[in-house]
Structure 1
Amino acid sequence: MSKLIGYARVSTRKQSTDRQAADLIAAGVRRDDLYIDEGVSGARASRPQFDRALDALHEGDTLVITTLDRLGRSTQSTLSLADDLRARGAGFRVLNLGGGDVDTSTPMGSMLFTIMAALAQMELEIKRERITDSISKRRDAGLHLGGRPRRITDSQVRNALHLIQSGQPAAQVARDLGMSRATLYRRLRSL
């Protein structure tokens, strides 16, 4: 008896797979056959739940995903997966392609899948380009690039330097500031 194996993935732990899971269940995937990777990049070759989903696939089963970018980051890796599924006799379905099965064994299905995989890779590359451009513009404008806000001001670090120069142990001064000695030295170098 063939079954649907669902796979969902998000790249960071802050993101939610709720929408993907709901779409997969609505498409007929049973909760027991739903595999979810949270905080796992699509660029990684090994994704624990994805590997389990592939192990669960048997001949006649269908792998179901919501969008092509959940599979991988390159056209080559996505097409390689499609070839592997075809060789195993498993089907493949992408919900954002109108909800129909994409049969990569037919010329039309293979062409559609190849085009969509290439578009997913292009979308990722455009997104990377935009992020790099945005960071560059913010850096050139002297704007904050994100990261953790500094709790310890430059003035406090200068005072710490005076304490160290007056004979206080650096480890104790750093501890009093609530930072590691290495962080204190790094902040001192940056002044």
Structure 2
Amino acid sequence: MVARHSLIGYARVSTRRQDADRQVEDLLAAGVRRDDLYVDHGVSGARASRPKFDKAVAALQEGDTLVITTLDRLGRSTQNMLAFAETLRERGAGLRVLNLGGGDVDTHTPMGSMVFTVMAALAQMELEIKRERITDSVAKRRAAGQDLGGRRQTFTDSQIRSAAHLVEAGRPAAQVARDMGMSRATLYRRIRDLPVST
């Protein structure tokens, strides 16, 4: 008797307000039986423990395939994704991503396995580039003395005058500015813009 290979479907939404209907529809259309469908609600991809994901993985037998709609349902880091795909391979199970690089990728095939590795690496690279851009943007804005967002502390003219007196008395302007939570350029601008007292 030939063993029946199952498709085990997994869907995840990060917040309880989101619904997984679209993912579920796509998984059912791909041939996953409703009984073999696992959905995590309100669980972030960065979390190590995802209860339904753990159950889906535990349900996999040799020859079975875990089916997900997109790569980010698995997690955030390429290293984790690739390690997970390798773990499945060692167990004789496969991974199928319905929408990866515009197509359906199955790691049971050599081509699918290669495409998965490349796409996982690209997803990670995209994340790193985004992170780098944000860090770079914050550094540039900080250097230019610009607002970095968040709640801006407001200082009265009298507080700025006190800061100016400290600088005149020999305290380093950079230190005074840092203590006030602003850049040196901003401190100098505020001192320059003080109304002339009569």
Q: TM-score, normalised by structure 1?
A: 0.64
Higher helix share: 1
For 1:68, the equivalent position in structure 2 comes to 71
C-alpha distance in 2 between matches for 1:8 and 1:127: 25
What pairs with 1:42-191 in structure 2 (closer than 5 Å)?
42-97=45-100, 98-103=103-108, 106=110, 108-126=111-129, 140-141=146-147
C-alpha distance in 2 between matches for 1:142 and 1:71: 32
C-alpha distance in 2 between matches for 1:19 and 1:129: 32
Question: In the TM superposition, what whole-angstrom CA distance separates every residue of 1:30-66 from its partner, at most 9, and x where no partner exists?
Answer: 1111111111111111110000000110011110000
Percentage identity across paired residues of the two chains: 71
For 1:32, the equivalent position in structure 2 comes to 35
Measured at CA, do residues 22 and 89 of structure 1 come closer, stay the same or move farther in structure 2, by a change above 3 Å? same
For 2:44, the equivalent position in structure 1 comes to 41
1:4 is aligned, of 2, 7, 22, to: 7
In structure 1, the gaps of 5 or more residues are 146-191
Q: In terms of Rg, which structure is larger?
A: 2
Q: Which amino acid aligns with 1:64?
A: V
Deviation of the 1:12 alpha carbon: 1.6
Measured at CA, do residues 18 and 125 of structure 1 come closer, stay the same or move farther in structure 2, by a change above 3 Å? farther
Contact 2:66 2:93 in 1 (8 A): yes
Deviation of the 1:29 alpha carbon: 0.7
In structure 2, the gaps of 5 or more residues are 152-198
Q: TM-score, normalised by structure 2?
A: 0.62
RMSD: 2.8
**Alignment: residue pair count:** 143
Question: In the TM superposition, what whole-angstrom CA distance separates every residue of 1:123-168 from its partner, at most 9, and x where no partner exists?
Answer: 344555677759x97xx558677xxxxxxxxxxxxxxxxxxxxxxx
